[in-house]
A and B are shown apart, each in its own frame.
Chain A
Amino acid sequence: MDFTFNEDQLLFQEEVKKFLVNEVTPELIRELWESESGRSGALWSQLVELGLTGMTVPEAYGGLGMNEVDFVLLAQECGFVALPEPLVEQVLVAVPLINSLPEAFRAEWLPRIAAGEAKVLVGLEQNQLVADAHYADLLLLQQGNELHAVTPGQVKLIFNESVDPSRKLFAVEWTPSATTRIAEDAAELIEAALNRGALGAAAQALGLTQRMIELSVQYTADRQQFGVAIGTFQAVKHRMANVAVPLEYAKAVVHRAAHSVAIGHKNAAVHVSHAKIAACDASLTGAKNSIQVHGAMGYTWEVDLHIFMKKAWALNNTWGDSAFHKNRVASFVLGEADNAGAGRTFL
Chain B
Amino acid sequence: MDLAYTPEQQAFREEIRTWLAANVPAEPLKSFDTAEGFQQHREWEAKLNEGRWGMVTWPEALGGRGADLIQWLIFEEEYWRAGAPLRVNQNGIFLLGPTLMEYGTDEQKADILPKMANGTEVWAQGWSEPGAGSDMAAIRSKAELSDCGEYYIVNGQKTWSTRAVWADQCFGMFRTDPNSQRHHGLTFILVPLNLEGITVRPIPQLDGLPGFAEIFFDNVKVPVNRRLGGEGEGWKVAMATAGFERGLMLRSPARFQETARRLVNLYKENREAADRDPSVKEAVIRAYMDAEAYTLTTYQTACRLTQGGKIGPESSTNKIFWSELDQRMHETAMSILGARAELLPHAPAAQGVGNWLDGFLFAQSGPIYAGTNEIQRNIIAERMLGMPRK
Contact = CB atoms under 8 A, between A and B. Distances in A.
Interface in A227-273: 228-229, 231-232, 234, 236-238, 240-242, 244-245, 248-253, 255-256, 259
15 contacts: A4-B300, A5-B1, A217-B386, A229-B388, A231-B387, A232-B387, A241-B378, A253-B296, A330-B281, A333-B288, A340-B257, A341-B81, A342-B80, A342-B253, A342-B261
Interface in B272-304: 281-282, 284-285, 288-297, 299-300, 302-304
Nearest to A6: B1
B321 interface: yes
Given A232-B389, A340-B261, A346-B5, A249 B384 contact: no
A17 interface: no
Contacts, number: 170
Interface in B117-140: none
Nearest to A278: B293
A341 B320 contact: no
B293 A231 contact: no
Contact of B260 (A4, A329, A340): A340
Nearest to B70: A1
Contacts of B296: 3, 252-253, 255-256, 345
Contacts of A249: 290, 293-294, 297, 317, 321
**Which of B1, B80, B302, B374 has most chain A Cβ within 10 Å?**
B1
Interface of A: 1-6, 69, 213, 217, 220-221, 228-229, 231-232, 234, 236-238, 240-242, 244-245, 248-253, 255-256, 259, 274, 277-278, 326, 329-330, 333-334, 338, 340-346
A156 B284 CA distance: 45
Interface string B245-268: 000000001110110110010011
A256 B3 contact: yes
Contact of A244 (B6, B295, B317): B317
B76 A342 contact: yes
A2 B2 contact: yes
Contacts of B374: 234, 238
Given A217-B385, A241-B381, A248 B314 contact: yes
B387 A217 contact: yes
Contacts of B2: 1-2
Most buried by B among A2, A6, A217, A278: A2
A218 to B, nearest CB: 9
A344 B297 CA distance: 15
Interface of B: 1-6, 9, 13, 70, 74, 76-78, 80-81, 253-255, 257-258, 260-261, 264, 267-268, 281-282, 284-285, 288-297, 299-300, 302-304, 307, 314, 317, 320-321, 374, 376-378, 380-382, 384-390
B388 A1 contact: no
B388 A232 contact: yes
A245 B320 CA distance: 8
A343 B78 contact: yes
Contacts of B387: 217, 220-221, 231-232, 236-237, 240
Q: Which of A4, A5, A220 has the most CB of B within 10 A?
A: A4
B377 A238 contact: yes
Contacts of B307: 4
Given A238-B377, A346-B3, A244 B281 contact: no
A255 B317 contact: no
Contacts of A6: 1
Contact of B258 (A245, A248, A342): A342
4 cross-chain pairs, A with B, having the tightest CB-CB distances, nearest first: A237-B381, A341-B261, A342-B254, A252-B296
A334 B81 contact: no
A240 B377 CA distance: 9
Given A213-B385, A231-B388, A277-B289, A252 B261 contact: no
Nearest to A343: B77
Contacts of B1: 2-6, 69, 255, 259
Contacts of B74: 343
A213 B387 CA distance: 11
Contacts of A244: 314, 317, 380-381, 384-385
Nearest to B271: A334
A341 B267 CA distance: 14
A341 B300 contact: no
A240 B3 contact: no
Contacts of A338: 261
Given A238-B378, A342-B78, A344-B257, 4 more contacts: A217-B385, A232-B388, A237-B382, A248-B317
Given A217-B386, A333-B288, A346-B3, A238 B300 contact: no
Nearest to A254: B296
Contacts of A3: 1, 3, 296, 299-300, 302-304
A345 B378 contact: no
A92 to B, nearest CB: 17
Contact of B254 (A5, A217, A250, A343): A343
Contact of A341 (B3, B258, B284): B258
Given A2-B303, A256-B3, A340 B321 contact: no
Nearest to B389: A232
B52 to A, nearest CB: 21
Contacts of A259: 1, 3
Contacts of B386: 217
B3 A326 contact: no
A25 B386 CA distance: 23
Contact of B281 (A2, A245, A250, A334): A334
Contact of B380 (A5, A232, A241, A345): A241
Nearest to A229: B388
B100 to A, nearest CB: 29
Contacts of B299: 1, 3, 252, 345-346
B5 A240 contact: no
Contacts of B295: 345
B388 A341 contact: no
- The listed residue with most B CB atoms (<10 A of its CB), out of A241, A252, A334, is A241
A2 B303 CA distance: 6
A4 B303 contact: yes
